Amino acid sequence: QKEVEQNSGPLSVPEGAIASLNCTYSDRGSQSFFWYRQYSGKSPELIMFIYSNGDKEDGRFTAQLNKASQYVSLLIRDSQPSDSATYLCAVTVTGRRALTFGSGTRLQVQP
Amino acid sequence: DAGVIQSPRHEVTEMGQEVTLRCKPISGHNSLFWYRQTMMRGLELLIYFNNNVPIDDSGMPEDRFSAKMPNASFSTLKIQPSEPRDSAVYFCASSYGSSNTEAFFGQGTRLTVV
């Protein structure tokens, strides 16, 4: 079992819709959770981080964390074509200070 | 701040040659990470430094790979000898603190070994 799992996609949504990206992790001791966005040919850039169960909102983005079920999700409201990218979920794994990344979900927002 | 600076941006080399990738972290950051990204394996951590000291090198594939951080503003990742399977994008990232909060990535070095 991979430590961080994501559906590779592509996830295709129409412009203006809500895009829902999901991530599951295997380590129950994980404490910190991050969402990065990576445009093709570019480096990952941090969108949000979340540490506590529940929702965290930042503009059009909402991160949701459920430690009991070991999943974290990212909702993008009012999706725009410029949101088309690969979204990487990353967690801190017990005993390893650096982030462990999932393989990413490719999002396509259709105009 | 200019962000994390990596050089070169692209490197094409022949199998068996030595390759050195360079990274300048963001000033004031005390953690530095080298990652490798491929289509097959995604983004993998190679090595992590904290205060210039290697903390976790469990991701370094084999002895052909080595990394150094002689001071707080410079790190290198060396592959000797290089092999075609080393072809990937190598990212350097830095952060402040020991828990890798808000790591900032450099633009990456695209390495092609032919």
Tally A–B CB contacts below 8 A.
50
**CA B108 to CA B92: how far, in whole Å?**
7
Nearest-CA distance A4 → chain B (Å): 11
Q: What average pLDDT does the segment B12-18 reach?
A: 97
Using 50, 70 and 90 to split pLDDT, how confident is the model at B1?
low
What are B35-92's pLDDT values in tens digits? Answer: 999 998 899 999 999 999 999 898 898 899 999 999 999 999 999 999 999 999 999 9
> Nearest 5°: phi and psi at A83?
-80, -10
Which residue of chain B is at minimal alpha-carbon distance from A89?
B43
Interchain contact, B43 vs A98, CB within 8 Å? no
Q: What is the pLDDT of residue A2?
A: 78
Residue A32 touches chain B, beta carbons under 8 Å: yes
CB of A71 closer than 8 Å to CB of A63: no
- Contacts of B65 by beta carbon, 8 Å cutoff, 6+ apart: B46, B77, B78, B79
pLDDT at B98 over 90: no
